[in-house]
Structure 1
């Protein structure tokens, strides 16, 4: 490990924090110097795994000038804005779980502050760093204009959140993927309900409509007995299925298509016998190298710091705008222009 490597403090050691500690600890360009959590049992767990890392229950320890160069935030979304703002004001680079904040205004303000302080503000859209999503990106680019529809499912039993609904928690993944694959949709419709806590939606459907008429549908839920994490893209002559729950062969390409052929070709169809549907079927499994997306995300964050690269403001703002439109649509039960 280099003597002048970046010093990282990880704030929050619940579900995702230990994965950040693990990945940053393995990177030669940085070292984890501090882990903060209010739960002392979680700190003991980290200390046992990483004896060299300091632990603390006091978040203010992160903001001391000499403690660290960067702060990785793994906290409930309701805490993101205040913690990220304080870190930036104390001249720290910031790595933050998605979504960055609860509103478009907060998201924009944090990026403005990062620019003023000349600091990297990195939002962890982990899936965008997977080789499979990179493959889907190439697929969409190749078949631009011929994609009919996209269907996405992110369903499981729990983890129920107390400060955000299932759209902010789970659909933010799918929204970031859609923006990455296709750009910003024109309008959004969201429908959902809180079955366990009527104040927090735990099952929702989103319909994202693009200017060319393409509709992407996302179903997200904390209430399903089985886990589903998949994307289906239907194009004119190809179909692709991505299943993130598989340990291998996560992507299947189907050489399937359907066309309407007349027998013979009259000026109009008088009966069902005047036409047929012609189907074409075939499939294959592309070979895609495995890598841990979070590892790649952590590496990109460090690279941006070391090479003074600018922040990716547009993606986070676009995701924030779609989330805000989804919330408004839930209230009004109508399409909302993004």
Structure 2
């Protein structure tokens, strides 16, 4: 194995401390320093990982010539400015989702990474779940038939953010899944948001995404819910599929169903009842992915893309498409749920 890739961390909060062990266990990485403006986070890192240096100033990390890459795990509002400084310094960048809070800022980062010939990786972790890859292959191979509809739910009772709403925290996951699974592009977004827990931030939202080929996707997020789930339901003309994305209970179940044909030449047949019979025929749970950890696979792809001078799966250009959906949703919720075109 060649020289290890020297990495510095910016941000050691909840997710930064989840991500740090993945880099520490990666054979290609050497974590040199972790910076965080909060003394409590630095103390937690020093207690768990005493071999890692910590710093309060992130500027020193972003410009450290010994570092090959920078991992940015900070609140969404800081992603653009921190990633820009790191890219300006010639660093490869891993930035947590979302890439930025404005599409124009995201474009600036992608263009800067291209000019600097550096890797810009955005942590859309679900792209690295082999279960999601399996679902994508099934869709592309026609095993589910024509895709009519996706229903995505990300619900929990737990960490309620104070610095951004539920859309900007949860929708990057679901928008990335929609874009990864479907060949068609999003055409429009309607987003309705509700504020029950804080006066200035939505904690519940429901989005309707219309795709250019007529497929629809509903996305439901809620921070005040009795179940902790990250679920995807796929409605196809041949089969139905349900994916549970929470790592500790990941599963994929496929359902065969039947709807009685009540049409004759495109017209309703005479003499039939007013309801169309339908029934479930069979169900099966898919196997072969439960032991593979998506976040570790994402770290591996980031490091290998640096070593091999190639784009990772979750590259900046893909994340721009995600950001276009997020921005359209944000504009919609500020316009009382108006349908907003998705502009790439």
Moved more, 282-291 or 102-111: 282-291
Residue 72 of structure 1: aligned partner: 71
1:13 match: secondary structure: coil
Question: Partners of 1:247 and 1:77 in 2: how far apart?
Answer: 26
Q: What does residue range 155-304 of structure 1 map to in structure 2 within 5 Å?
A: 155-183=155-183, 184-245=185-246, 247-248=248-249, 250-261=251-262, 268-270=269-271, 272=273, 277-289=277-289, 290-304=291-305
SS of 1:28's equivalent in the other structure is coil
Name which of structure 1's ranges 155-164 and 80-89 shifts more when overlaid on structure 2: 155-164
5+ residue gaps in structure 1? none
Q: Secondary structure at the match of 2:67?
A: coil
The Cα shift of 1:271 comes to 5.5
* Residues 318-327 or 328-337, more deviating: 328-337
Looking at structure 2, the residues matched to 44 and 97 of structure 1 have their Cα atoms a distance apart, in angstroms, of 22
CA-atom RMSD in angstroms: 2.1
Q: Give the conservation status (yes or no) of the 8 Å contact 1:261–1:278.
A: no
Which whole-Å deviations, capped at 9, do the CAs of 1:136-183 have from their partners, x for residues lacking one?
111221237611211110011242223321111001100000000114
- Per the normalisation by structure 1, the TM-score is 0.92
Do the aligned residues in 2 keep the contact of 1:61 with 1:67 (CA within 8 Å)?
A: no
Superposition map of 1:70-109 within 5 A: 70-109=69-108
Q: Secondary structure at the match of 1:256?
A: strand
Alignment deviations for residues 119-138 of structure 1 (CA, whole Å, 9 cap, x no partner) = 11100100110011111111
Aligned residues: 334
Q: Distance in 2 between matches of 1:12 and 1:120?
A: 19
Residue 260 of structure 1 aligns to a residue in which SS?
A: coil
CA distance in 1, matches of 2:154, 2:244: 10
Within the candidate set 318, 321, 325, 1:318 is matched to: 321
- Could you give the per-residue CA deviations for residues 184-235 of structure 1, whole angstroms, max 9, x where no partner exists? 2111111111112232111000111112221110101112122121011111
Question: What is aligned with 2:340?
Answer: 336
Q: Matched residues in 2 for 1:197 and 1:57: separation? A: 30
Q: Does 1:60 align with 2:59?
A: yes
Instruction: Supply the distance in 1 between the matched residues of 2:164 and 2:25 (Cα, whole angstroms).
Output: 32
Shift of residue 313, structure 1, vs aligned partner: 3.4
Is 2:262–2:268's contact at 8 Å kept on the other side of the alignment? no
Partner secondary structure for residue 272 of structure 1: coil
TM-score normalised over the length of structure 2 = 0.91
State the distance in 1 between where 2:24 and 2:247 align. 27
The Cα shift of 1:41 comes to 2.6
Which of 76-85 and 207-216 deviates more?
207-216
SS at match of 2:220: strand
Q: Which runs of 4+ in 1 moved over 4 A?
A: none
Which one is further off, 200-209 or 306-315?
306-315
Q: CA shift at 1:246, angstroms?
A: 6.6
Instruction: Label 1:246 to 1:3 Cα distance change in 2 as closer, same or farther (>3 A).
Output: closer
- Structure 2 gaps of 5+ residues are none
